[in-house]
Structure 1
Amino acid sequence: MPHPDSTTPILPGFHPDPSICRVDDDYFVITSTFEYLPGVPIFHSRDLVRWRLIGNVLDREDQLSLPSSEGSGGIFAPTLRFHDGRFWMITTNINRVGEGHLIVSATDPAGPWTTPVYATGAVGIDPDLFWDTDGTCYLTWASGRPGSPISQAVVNPETGELLSERTDVWGGTGLAHPEGPHLYRRGDWYYLLLAEGGTERGHAVTVARSRSVRGPYEGDPANPILSHRSTSHPVQNTGHADLVERADGSWAMVHLGVRPVGPSPSFHVNGRETFIAGVRWLDDWPVVDETAFDVPKSHTDFDDDFSSPHLDSRWIAPGRHPHEFIEAAVDVGCVIRPSDSTGHRSLLAIRVEDQEWDARATVDADGGRLVLRLDDSHWVAVGSQDGAISVRMVVGPLDQVLAGVPAPDAPKVTLAIRATLPAAEPYGRVAAADDLTLGYVAEDEFRALATVDGRYLSTEVAAGFTGRVIGVEPTGTTDAVLRRFSYRGL
């Protein structure tokens, strides 16, 4: 039987701002990536609850490069659509927002995708593409300025050229930050779906409709059609949704949410995740049904010995494409070169996708560290260098070595970080967001060096739009050699 409410994400971990499309019996979802490269992962499913990563849309420097690894820059909310035999993706690179929205296309969703064109003149965030039945393509976007209405123009997606003047189509229901627009046609109605209330606890999904694509749009009397604000639901911040019609004529919705834990104000550490709900129609308005899908827990375990000639698509890096600073070496593993002169961090990482997990990295003992990162000002690491293993934590301006021991007398060392939810105290309170225990493995035994409070690597402390990633980087100015990396949910 379906769950009474949806508490299990279809894409766990840092996978915000989902957009979905269908081609026959195949479904595809993309999400935001912000400062991480490659940009915009794309997933495939046949049943809407089990998803497989098939690649990344922006995986080349000629498609996307970033000036730094600064947190929550880069790629904001994308939209994925299929039209006339091609997949189309439009998004905003906030570092180049003045140039307009970035548009690429592909015949195969796994790539390659084209070099971008830009919708010059459409300045803002959260762009959407919609083709009407006469073939006209409409670009709809949010200004990104508080209280400003949603804008629309006709666009040539091949070139990015705007073919009409910008018009304002709807200002939302009056909640803060109307954004994330998606435009649809169902029968004789055009529907405009928005995110409102901000992407924090007040987040909500609202909808309006019109007989004309250009409006005026009338809001649903039942708005917001989805929100968990001011409730005790374990999934919060629900919003930024996208609709898809299924092959059988029914409809579904993907949306983001977070799973906060700990005492007030509660802390979410893995970023905004992607969830799914059903949609039924009542008096030509969409009604969200959160009990429609029985979502299984995703398989998140990952083990890489770098024996493949191709880097797994799960690997990402802040501010740089991984292939810019790594190289495979026969019978060695993965060589990670130090940060470059521009300050880009050489961190080869994957998204953390579980609330409890264990990650291990076997590196050469002369220089390498396992890093859990939220942004460059909020991270913790266990590293090996100069004959010692030490734990270091950075929280804003505070930078401290928490523990250290002599390294085992061996050419390699296995570093480890484990996250666990703390036991509940009386009255249901818990001591922290999670407990992060850092150490190393010796004689097949995990040896803890330090345990830190995970709330300091949470969005509520650090701010921003991303979640945790975990990976390996050099500890100094010499290469790090990563022999093996493993991650498993507990």
Structure 2
Amino acid sequence: MTPFDTALKADLQTLQHTVEYEGQNFRERDADGNTLLHCAVRSGSLAKVAYLTDFLALDPLEANLSGITPLDLALQDGLDEIAAYLANKAGVDPTRIIHNPVRRGFYPDPSWIRVGEDYYMVNSSFSFFPCIPISKSRDLVHWTTVGYAITNPDWARVARSEGGRGYWAPDISYDAVSKHYFITATYRGNEDDAEPRCQMVVSAERPEGPYGEPAWIHEDGIDPSILHDEDGRHYMLFNRSVRMAELTPDCRAMRGPARLIWGGDLKRKTEGPQLMKHDGYYYLLAAEGGTGAGHRISAARSKNVWGPYENCPYNPILRQDDEGGYLQNCGHGKLLQTADGRWFLCFLCLRRDPDGTAPMGRETSIAEVTWTPDGWPVAAYGRRPRAVLNMPFSEEIPTLTPVGITRWKGEEWITQRALDTANFTVEKDALTLCGNGLDLCDRKMQGLLLVRQQERAFTAETALEIPAADTAGLTCYYDEHSYLKFGIGPEGLLLEEYAGYEVVSMQTAPLPASTSHVRLRVTATDGQRHFAIQDGTDWHTLWSIPEPRYLTSEGLQCGKRFTGAMVGLYVHGASAVRFADWSAVWSCPEEKR
């Protein structure tokens, strides 16, 4: 009998004997990422649950690969006594717990600031447009896009960007002297560009914008951030370890050359630097170890902005050291003090499937931060990312309207590169989208609107008129190298899969009888994607395929793959196609209570 079977099926005495007399790895997980404590909760035995938490110190908030913790299981199964025990043991209020990631879907490389009692965050957008989403929250958990750093396609420079290029690792900051907000990011060009990397800076009088025309700082490196110091000077930091340059008062140019100020703690792929002043010290945070399994956040400090910097003795201040943990590749963070004086850290992470892929790409999570007696910030609860934490604030959160290239059906719609605004209209609750005759594999293609995939399991539907030529419908999309199309045209229904540089699968079906409108549905569940059409009130599944690995960063070696899966609408052809409806429902397993 395995330890998991023992925790689930055996009595307390057998479990105790297994723990105390057999040589086992009690941090081991099963194929779904469950711990022994998950199994004990499923057994319904409070005695076994208490034994594993009291004497083996298993964590009630350790999530499996679906993000479900032992506490979640107890709440979902109505095991009130066990749930109360675990909540008390973990120090959380089960009515106020929240789950990481808080910004779900492709929202990597977070940076944030506080403005009064409001919080603003920016994330990388790569080659998608509008560029660099700006999100707002009142509680650090519920985020809504309220603006973008670049909304003018003439300023964006992404029209010919390859997938995975464009805007990397933005930072948002505030200068109290000029009373302006600044967003900076690396503009990553294509390999054949004369300047493959430079830094972009925009400014605005409000955090959500509108932001003015970008300035371009011609310094190589990635992951810039800006410190507006108390003496009125401004500094930009970027990688190759951590380098820094002083900026002009308007932050649109460098006043002198960049120079090294910190080599990092791990001294391997030190990037994503953030600098702040606190209690007489300059505190420097940086991501290290690369964006894979070794990702982490390290800290240093100095009394002088130019250093030398002293390494934090508790480094890394946040790292996932459990290879089977729910949140992986955790790093690239920034500190923030809330209006009531607490400290939090935002950071990027992955939710990885058992097959090693992470369909949603890199997402944003948060961690509570404590300060050590000798003055160092560290992520609370052992410097490890936690899937569950207490809701930071309890007040009612106002509903915000998302902003995108166009607002329709409450979604934040974006596009790959820049969509000509003449190619879409929204009128009387319907959206008309026009293509330019090119397919999704062409970087000049028009006729594509997308939303970020937020969960592994989802259902997306649309209703549309049958186009006069070529096809239109639903797409599951990663970039120009990997997507699928579930569409309809004058020749019938189509399911086409494109991966690498070619169509790898194509299936067709006849048109529905005597109709000019259709409703299409794609459902992702249990490792499959199902494609259905509605006939009257009934749905008919036409095709089912295994979950496409090519829609993940890890599933295809082709170009730079740093983003995440998308779902949306497409038109292949020069027709103007009217979409009458859209809905997307994301299935979040850890919140099914």
TM range (shorter): 0.7 to 0.9
> What's the counterpart of residue 429 of structure 1?
none
Mapped to 1, the partners of 2:407 and 2:294 lie a distance apart of 46
1:310/1:393 CA distance change after superposition, 3 Å:
closer
* Cross-structure match for 2:361: 271
The residue type equivalent to 1:275 in the other structure is S
Aligned residues: 464
1:136 matched residue in structure 2: 233
| Structure 1 residue corresponding to 2:203, chosen from 105, 109, 116 | 105
Q: Name the CA distance, whole Å, in 2 between partners of 1:313 and 1:204.
A: 33
Give the drift of 1:161.
1.8
Unaligned segments of structure 2, at least 5 residues: 1-91, 381-385, 588-593
Q: Distance in 1 between matches of 2:161 and 2:578?
A: 22
Aligned to 1:431: none
Q: Which moved more, 1:469-478 or 1:39-48?
A: 469-478
- CA distances 1:184-219 after superposition (whole Å, capped 9, x unpaired): 111111111111111122211111111111011121
1: CA distance between counterparts of 2:161 and 2:297?
31
- Using a 3 Å threshold, how does the CA distance of structure 1 residues 218 and 38 change in structure 2: closer, same or farther? same
Which aligned pairs between 1:314-393 and structure 2 lie closer than 5 A?
Answer: 314-321=412-419, 323=421, 325-329=423-427, 333-338=431-436, 343-366=444-467, 367-393=471-497
Give the CA deviation at 1:413.
Answer: 1.1
The answer to whether the 8 Å contact 1:126/1:180 transfers is yes
Cα distance, 1:243 vs. partner? 0.8
Secondary structure at 1:353 match in 2? coil
Q: Which moves more between the two structures, 40-49 or 390-399? A: 390-399
Instruction: Identify if the C-alpha distance between structure 1 residues 69 and 389 changes in structure 2 by more than 3 Å, giving closer, same or farther.
Output: farther
Corresponding residue SS for 1:62:
helix
1:323 Cα shift? Answer: 2.2
1:287-302 correspondence to structure 2 within 5 Å? 287-289=378-380, 290=386, 292-294=389-391
Which whole-Å CA distance do the structure 1 matches of 2:431 and 2:170 have between them?
34
Q: How well do the aligned residues superpose, as a CA RMSD in angstroms?
A: 2.8
TM-fit CA distance, 1:448: 1.8
Change (3 A) 1:379 1:331: closer
Give the secondary-structure state (helix, strand or coil) at the position aligned to 2:412.
Answer: coil
Report the 3-state secondary structure (helix = DSSP H, G, I; strand = E; otherwise coil) of the residue aligned with 1:461: coil
Deviations 1:341-360 (A, max 9, x none): 96234311111112211111
The CA distance in 2 between the partners of 1:34 and 1:466, in whole Å, is 8
CA distance in 2, matches of 1:405, 1:99: 47
Of the structure 1 ranges 17-26 and 97-106, higher mean CA displacement relative to structure 2 is found in 97-106
1:358–1:416 contact (8 Å) kept in structure 2: yes
Q: Is the contact between residue 62 and residue 115 of structure 1 (CA under 8 Å) also seen in structure 2?
A: no
Q: What is the alpha-carbon distance in structure 2 between the residues aligned to residue 382 and residue 13 of structure 1?
A: 22
Distance 1:245 1:99, change over 3 A: same
Instruction: Name the residue aligned to 1:466.
Output: 563
SS at match of 2:153: coil
Does residue 33 of structure 2 align to residue 33 of structure 1?
A: no
> Does the C-alpha gap of structure 1 residues 322 and 43 become closer, same or farther in structure 2, counting only changes over 3 Å?
farther
For residue 467 of structure 1, what is the amino acid of its counterpart?
G
1:478 aligns with 2:575: yes
Amino acid at match of 1:210: S
- What's the CA shift string for 1:360-407, capped at 9, x where partnerless? 111211231211011112111211012411211112244144432212
Q: Which moved further from structure 2: 199-208 or 335-344?
A: 335-344
Q: Is the 8 A contact 1:382 1:439 kept in 2?
A: no
The structure showing larger relative contact order (alpha-carbon pairs under 8 Å, at least 6 residues apart) is 1
Task: Give runs of aligned pairs for residues 26-425 of structure 1, distance below 5 A.
Answer: 26-68=118-160, 70-84=162-176, 85-95=179-189, 100-120=198-218, 122-142=219-239, 148-156=240-248, 158=250, 160-263=252-355, 266-282=356-372, 283-289=374-380, 290=386, 292-294=389-391, 314-321=412-419, 323=421, 325-329=423-427, 333-338=431-436, 343-366=444-467, 367-408=471-512, 409-420=514-525, 422=526
Judging changes above 3 Å, is the alpha-carbon distance between structure 1 residues 393 and 102 closer, same or farther for their aligned structure 2 residues? same
Which amino acid in 2 is paired with 1:478?
S
| Aligned 8 A contact 2:188 2:198 in 1 | no
Q: Percent identity?
A: 28
Moved more, 219-228 or 445-454: 445-454
- Check if 1:440 corresponds to 2:533: yes
Structure 1 counterpart SS, 2:113: strand
Distance 2:571 2:238 in 1: 41
Q: CA deviation at 1:230?
A: 4.1
For the residues of structure 2 that align with 1:99 and 1:221, how far apart are their CA atoms?
33
How big is each residue's C-alpha offset from its partner over 1:56-97, in whole Å with a ceiling of 9 and x where there is no partner?
A: 221112331313352101010000012222211001111275
Structure holding more helix per residue: 2
Tell me the distance in 1 between the aligned counterparts of 2:575 and 2:242.
50
SS at match of 1:474: strand
Matched-pair contact (CA < 8 Å) for 1:36–1:317 = yes
CA deviation after TM superposition for structure 1 residue 247, in Å: 1.5
On the 8 A contact 1:118/1:159 being kept in 2, the answer is no
Q: Structure 2: how far apart are the matches of 1:157 and 1:91?
A: 18
SS in 1 for 2:154: coil
CA distance in 2, matches of 1:17, 1:339: 35
Q: Structure 1 runs of 4+ off > 4 angstroms? A: 2-7, 96-99, 308-313, 329-332, 339-342
CA 2–215 in structure 1, closer or farther in 2 if over 3 Å, else same: farther
Report the Cα distance in structure 2 between the residues aligned to 1:453 and 1:380, rounded to whole angstroms: 12
C-alpha distance in 2 between matches for 1:309 and 1:256 = 27
> Deviation at 1:332?
5.1
Q: Name the residue aligned to 2:48.
A: none
After superposition, the Cα gap between the structure-2 partners of 1:344 and 1:92, relative to the gap in structure 1 and judged at 3 Å, is: farther
Deviations 1:272-309 (A, max 9, x none): 1110111111011111024654389xx9xxx99x9x98
| The 10-residue stretch of structure 1 (326-335 or 89-98) with the greater mean CA deviation from structure 2 | 326-335
After superposition, the Cα gap between the structure-2 partners of 1:331 and 1:42, relative to the gap in structure 1 and judged at 3 Å, is closer
Q: 1:6 to 1:207 in 2, by over 3 A?
A: farther
- Which whole-Å CA distance do the structure 2 matches of 1:372 and 1:237 have between them? 25
Aligned partners of 2:162 and 2:443 also within 8 Å: no
Counterpart of 2:485, as a letter, is: A
CA distance in 1: counterparts of 2:271 and 2:502, whole angstroms: 35
SS in 2 for 1:258: strand
Hey, what's the Cα distance between the residues in 2 that align with 1:160 and 1:317?
28
TM-score when normalising by structure 1: 0.88
Q: With structure 2 as the length reference, what TM-score do the two structures score?
A: 0.73
Change (3 A) 1:6 1:461: farther
Q: How much does 1:479 deviate?
A: 2.7
**Structure 1 pair 437–49 and aligned structure 2 pair: CA distance change class (3 A):** same
